[in-house]
Structure 1
Amino acid sequence: MTSGDSDSLLPGTGLSDLLDAAVRRAGDRAALDLAGHVWTYRELGDLVAQASDGLRRMGVGPGSRVGLCLPNSPWYVIGFFAALRLSAIVVQFNPLYTAREIVQIARDSGTDTLFVSDLSMQVATMAEVRRQRPGLAIIGCPLDVASAGAMPSDWRDFGALIAEASTCPAVPVTADMPAVLQYTGGTTGVPKGAVLTHGNLLANCEQIRLHLHLEPDADHRTVAVLPLFHVFALTTVLLLSVRLAAQIVLLPRFDVDGLLRTIARTRPTLLSAVPTIYGAVNGVAVEQLPDFSTMAACISGGAPLPFDVREAFERRTGTRLVEGYGLTEASPVVACNPVDAPPCDHSAGIALPGTRIEIHATDEARGPLGPGEIGEVCVRGPQVMRGYWQQPEETARVLQDGLLRTGDVGYLDAEGHLFLVDRIKDVILCSGYNVYPRMIEEALYEHPAVAEAIALGLPDAYRGESPHAFVALRPGAEASVAGLRAHLAERLNKIEMPVTIEIRAALPRTAVGKLSRKDLRETVRAEAARAADLRVDVA
C-alpha cells in the first residue's frame, strides 16, 4: 500500500466518530478501568456528550483550544472527545510542566480552557499559571481522594460542568481540520505545536491496526501505562483502543509493581511502552512476573530499544516485543517491526501501510539514496502533520513537497528495514520523553553566576539517555552545585532536571568561537573511559 491509498485508511471524518462507532457496536462493553472502577462505552459516550454540552455553555466551539493537563484518568478521555465533538482543538500539556512551561504553551496556542487535576502539586502550579493568565478557565477533575473535592474557588468542578448539561450533537468536521496541537521542541528547543488533523490521527490509528493485524471487537484490553498526553500513547493506546472497542486500563503513574499487578488482574492483550518500562520489568524476578500469554502485541517506542532489553523481555515473559519508530510530526508512528515475522535485529521496522520512507542526502546534493546508504530519514504518508502552529518558516523547513524531513539519520536495507544511526538534532530521549538541551541551558543562564552552559544527553542504562549540565562561572562569581540545582528546580520539570551538574573552568568552543556540544560530549566520553581504565588498574 502506498500513500496514495490514504483515503482507505480513514474509518470516519472526525475522531469523535471512533467513539460514536464503538458506542453503537459495543455499548455494554467495558471502555475504561481505573483501579477496578469500570465505565462502559455507553457510559463513556454519555459523559462525553454531557461534557461537550458543558463546554459549549462555557463558550467553547469550533477552533477553540482546549488544554488537557491531566494524568491518565477517565477525565482525560472525556475531555479529549468532548472538545473534539465541538470541533475544538485539543492542546496537550504534561502535568509535570512548570508554571512557566504551561504559560508558554498556553500563550502560543491560545488555550482558553484547561482541564487539570486537583492533586496538590498541580493546584500549586496552577495558582501561578492563573496569576499570569487570569482569563484562563480551569476545569478541576477529582483525583486527590484525600482532598475530598476541595478545589480552588475560581475553578469549575468537573461535576458542575456536566450537572446541568444535556446531550450535545457533534459539530461536523472534515479530515483536514486540526484536532490536536502536540508541542515539540524540534531542533531548536523552542516549543512548536505540531498541527495533527483528524485525518492524520485517524490514518495513523488505522495504519497501526492493519500493521498489527488487529480486528475490531475482538475482546482486546490495553494497559495505559504511557501518559496519554504523549503522542505515542495518544495514538497507540487511546485511539487504537477506541477503534477496536477495547478496554483501556488506566494507570495514572508508572511503577513496575503496580503495572505487574494490573497485568495479573486484567490479563491485557496490548501493551505500548518505552524501553525504560520494559527494562524495569526485566529487573523483576521471573517467579514474580504475571502471565503474559494473553498479549497479542507488545510495542516499544519513544526511544531506541536496546537489543539486550528486547532479548531478556522475550526470554523471561515468552512474549514478542517489537520496536517501532516515529515522531510527533507523523502522528507519530512511521515504522514498526512485524509481529508475525522473525525480528530484524537493531532495526526500527518497516514502513506502516500507506507510508513511504525515503533516505535523502543530508547535504541535499542528491535525491533519494539507495539501500545501505546513510542519510536523513524522510517520510511521506497520510499521518504527516499539516504543519507547525502559526510558524510558516519552520513548517517550510521540515515539509517540502509533502515530504517530512525528520532530522534523524539512518538507512534502509534491501528489504525496507529502517536502521537509525544518529540524530541531527540534539534532543535527549529520556525514558521516551524529549528533553531539549536549550531549555536547560536557558534556565542556567538565568543564574547570575553562570557565564556559559551546555546541556547534553549521556547514555543511561535505565532511561536510555539522561540530561547532564556543564557550566562555567563568571569571573569572580561563586556558585555551588546544590545552589544551581535549587535554581533549576524552580524552572525545570523533573524529567528535564540534569542528573549531574558540573562546574568547569571553561567549556569547549569551535574555531569560530561558538560553544561546542560535540566537543564537550567527546571530552566527557574520554574522561569516562580514562576513569574506567583507572578503576580496572586499581582493582
Structure 2
Amino acid sequence: MHVNTAPYNHPTPWETSFEPLTLPAMLERTLMHDPGAPFLHFMGRTFSYRAVHSEAMKFAAGLIEMGVKPGDRIGLFLPNVPIYASAYYGAMMAGGVVVNFSPLYSVEELAWQVADSGTRALVTVDVPELYVTASKVLETSELETLIVGSLASMLPLGKSIAFNLFKRSQIAKVEWSASVRRWDDVLSDEGVNLPVITPDDLALLQYTGGTTGRPKGAMLGHSQLTQNAQQVAAINPFENPRKEVMMGALPFFHVFANTALLNHAVAAGASIAMVPRFDAKQVLQTIEKYGATGFPGVPTMFQALLDHPDLAKTDLSTLKVCISGGAPMPAQVHTRFEDATGVRLVEGYGLTESSGVVSANPYVGTRKKGTIGQLVAGTEIILLDKEDPTKLAPEGEPGELAVCGPQIMRGYWQRPETDADVFVERDGKRYLRTGDVAVMDEDGFLSIVDRIKDMIAVGGFKVFPSVVEEAILKHEAVKEALVIGVPDDYLGEVPRAFVVLEPEANAGAEDIKEWLNNRIGKHERVDEVVIRDELPKTIIGKLDRKALRAEVL
C-alpha cells in the first residue's frame, strides 16, 4: 500500500529515488556550492559551512591521532551548541559511529548506554551539570577519553569575555588530564589520511526507549540518514532552499532534529538559527532576529509560544511553515496557533527506527488537520492485523502501521534476536513494525489511531486512549490530558484520565468526568479524572504516557 495511486500533494513525485551518500560527502557537496554560506547562527555569532567543515576535519584528524579506528563509537553528550555539528560530521569523517546521548541523562543512564554501545570517547561542554555527570561516567566505566569544549569560546567575542568575567559559576572547574582533554587540543592540523567510508557503513547509534526494558540502539547507516534528509528536503515547495533559515529549538541529539534540522539543512544548503535549549522568549527573539522561515517542533513548544506574552508583539512574517511531530497535535492548539500567528502548522510522523521522518502534511495546498499527512517519497506502508501481525488488516479497518523505505534502520545494536519482533517480510520487502495503529484515507493521508501497547482492554472491548484524550481536550478548561488503563476487578482494565487545566480554569474533576462520559462510548468511560499541576514529559517535551503509567501503576 502506498500513495502513488492517490492524489499526491508533495512537490516531488512519490516515485523519486534518492542518492545514497555518506554524511561527510553530503556536507562536502554543499560546501563546494558556497563555502562561505551561513550554516549555524548561535547567540549572535554565525558559523559558515567552511568553518564547520574545517573544524570537523581537524576533529577527525585528532581522533585518528588518538587511535580511533573505523567503527569505533564516539559519544556526543551535548546541548545545541556549534561543536555538535563539528563533532558529529568529524567523528564520521574518521570512520567513527556517533552515539547521541541526552544532556538530561543521569550518571546511571549515561553509564549504561556508554557501556552498551562501547563508546570510546565522549564529547561534552564545560557546563557543570554535563561535565560532572560525564566525569563520573569516565571514572566508573570503560570510557577512555572525555573531550570538553568551552561554551564561552563559541560565543561572540564580547559575550565570551562577559561570560568568563561574570558567569564563572556557570563554567565547570575541569580537571584536565591525559583522559580529560580540551576540545581545542584534540583538533589537529596535521595531514592525516582519512579512511574511506561508504554509504553502507554504520553512521549513528540512536537509542530509543521503546515501551519496556532498557533502551535499544537503532543502527542507522550513512545511506539511511542521507536519504531521509533528502526525502525531507524534497517536501519543501519553496524556491531557493539555500535561503531557508530553520529555527533550531529541537535538541540535536534527538532523531527528529538530527534529520529534520541538522542533516536536512546540509542536504538543502540552508542555515539553522540555534538555541541551546527551548525557551519560548529566546525562540521568539531568534525567529525575529534571523528571519527564520521554518520551525520543526513538538506540540508543547507551540503551546508554550501561545502562552508567552511576547508572541503577539513578535514579527513572525518570515515564517512560512511550522512542522509538528513527536506527539499528536491537540486540535485546539493547532487552531489557536494558526489564528494567533497566521503561520501554517502541519503535522508529520516518524520514529527513531526510520531515521526520523516517514510522512508529513504538505507545506502548501491540501492538508488534513489531525492526520500525519502523506508518505515522503520512496516510502511504502502496509497495515497489519492488530491481533495477528502475520496478516493484513481487513480492508478499510485500522491496522498496525508497518513501513518500508530507504530510511529504515538495519536493526538494533547487538540485539539480532529482536529482528523477528520488529520486522515483517512481505512480497520480498522488509517492513518495520511501528507499534502504531493507523488508517489511510482515499487521498493517501494517514491518521494514527493509537499504539498497540497503549490500547486498554475493557471487558473484551479495545479502547484507544487517544480517542478519549481527544474528547476530553474539547473541554474548555482542559489544557493537557493523558489517559491510561488501570486495573479493575470486574472489567480487567478501565480508562482513567489525568489532566492539566488551563490557567484560571475552575472546573472540578467530577464535573469534567461527567461532561466527558456523556460524550464517549460506554466502554470508553473513565472511572476518574485526576487534576494535576503537570504531566510527565519526555526529553523533547512530549507527554509521556509510559512514565505516567509507571508512576501510577
Query: TM-score, normalized by length of structure 2?
Result: 0.76
Q: 1:293 offset after TM fit, Å?
A: 2.5
CA contact (8 A) 1:2 1:354 kept: no
Residue 56, structure 1, aligned to residue 80, structure 2 = no
Q: Which residue does 2:362 correspond to in 1?
A: 338
Aligned residues: 460
**Matched residue of 1:18: which SS?**
helix
Q: 1:81 offset after TM fit, Å?
A: 0.3
One-letter code of the match for 2:453? K
Structure 1 residues 195 and 287, CA gap change in structure 2 (3 angstroms): closer
Residue 160, structure 1, aligned to residue 160, structure 2 = no
Distance in 2 (alpha carbons) for counterparts of 1:167 and 1:36: 33
Q: 1:224 offset after TM fit, Å?
A: 0.8
Q: 1:343 offset after TM fit, Å?
A: 2.4
Match of 2:345 among 290, 297, 321: 321
CA contact (8 A) 2:77 2:130 kept: no
Structure 1 residues 257 and 524, CA gap change in structure 2 (3 angstroms): closer
Match of 1:203 among 224, 227, 230: 227
Q: Which residue does 1:418 correspond to in 2?
A: 446
Q: Which residue does 1:530 correspond to in 2?
A: 510
Q: Which residue does 1:409 correspond to in 2?
A: 437
Q: Which residue does 1:493 correspond to in 2?
A: none
Structure 1 residues 135 and 336, CA gap change in structure 2 (3 angstroms): closer
Q: 1:283 offset after TM fit, Å?
A: 1.7
Q: Which residue does 2:272 correspond to in 1?
A: 248
Match of 1:273 among 294, 297, 301: 297
**Matched residue of 2:119: which SS?**
coil
Superposed CA deviations along residues 363-400 of structure 1, whole A, max 9, x for unmatched, are: 22773346631110111111110000010111221112
One-letter code of the match for 1:368? L
Q: 1:13 offset after TM fit, Å?
A: 2.2
**Matched residue of 2:284: which SS?**
helix
CA contact (8 A) 2:323 2:347 kept: yes
Q: Which residue does 1:178 correspond to in 2?
A: 202
Q: Which residue does 1:259 correspond to in 2?
A: 283
Q: 1:532 offset after TM fit, Å?
A: 4.1
Match of 2:95 among 87, 95, 102: 87
Match of 2:77 among 69, 72, 77: 69
One-letter code of the match for 1:166? E
Distance in 1 (alpha carbons) for counterparts of 2:234 and 2:148: 38
Structure 1 residues 24 and 170, CA gap change in structure 2 (3 angstroms): farther
Residue 367, structure 1, aligned to residue 391, structure 2 = yes
Distance in 1 (alpha carbons) for counterparts of 2:192 and 2:480: 45
Structure 1 residues 168 and 464, CA gap change in structure 2 (3 angstroms): farther
Q: 1:338 offset after TM fit, Å?
A: 0.7
CA contact (8 A) 1:6 1:382 kept: no
In structure 2, list runs of 5 or more residues that go unmatched. Answer: 5-12, 153-162, 456-471, 500-507, 517-553
- Please report the RMSD computed on the Cα atoms of aligned residues, expressed in angstroms: 3.2
CA contact (8 A) 1:286 1:316 kept: no
CA contact (8 A) 1:65 1:109 kept: yes
Structure 1 residues 7 and 386, CA gap change in structure 2 (3 angstroms): farther
Structure 1 residues 415 and 535, CA gap change in structure 2 (3 angstroms): closer
Q: 1:463 offset after TM fit, Å?
A: 9.2
CA contact (8 A) 2:61 2:194 kept: no
Query: TM-score, normalized by length of structure 1?
Result: 0.78
Distance in 1 (alpha carbons) for counterparts of 2:226 and 2:190: 28
Match of 1:30 among 19, 26, 38: 38
Q: 1:308 offset after TM fit, Å?
A: 1.3
Structure 1 residues 406 and 253, CA gap change in structure 2 (3 angstroms): same
Q: Which residue does 2:146 correspond to in 1?
A: 138
Superposed CA deviations along residues 198-255 of structure 1, whole A, max 9, x for unmatched, are: 1111111111111223566531111110000000000000000111111111110111
Q: 1:178 offset after TM fit, Å?
A: 1.1
Distance in 2 (alpha carbons) for counterparts of 1:314 and 1:86: 45
Distance in 2 (alpha carbons) for counterparts of 1:462 and 1:82: 47
Q: Mapping of 1:285-296 within 5 angstroms?
A: 285=309, 288-296=312-320
**Matched residue of 1:227: which SS?**
coil
Distance in 2 (alpha carbons) for counterparts of 1:77 and 1:375: 39
Q: 1:167 offset after TM fit, Å?
A: 5.3
Structure 1 residues 535 and 510, CA gap change in structure 2 (3 angstroms): closer
Structure 1 residues 23 and 533, CA gap change in structure 2 (3 angstroms): closer
Identity of aligned residues (%): 34
Distance in 2 (alpha carbons) for counterparts of 1:256 and 1:524: 25
CA contact (8 A) 2:305 2:311 kept: no
Per mean C-alpha deviation after superposition, the further-off stretch among 97-106 and 314-323 is 314-323
CA contact (8 A) 1:6 1:381 kept: no
Q: 1:125 offset after TM fit, Å?
A: 1.3
Distance in 2 (alpha carbons) for counterparts of 1:407 and 1:59: 41
Distance in 1 (alpha carbons) for counterparts of 2:422 and 2:445: 23
Superposed CA deviations along residues 309-353 of structure 1, whole A, max 9, x for unmatched, are: 111111111111110011111112111111122321211111110
CA contact (8 A) 1:114 1:137 kept: yes
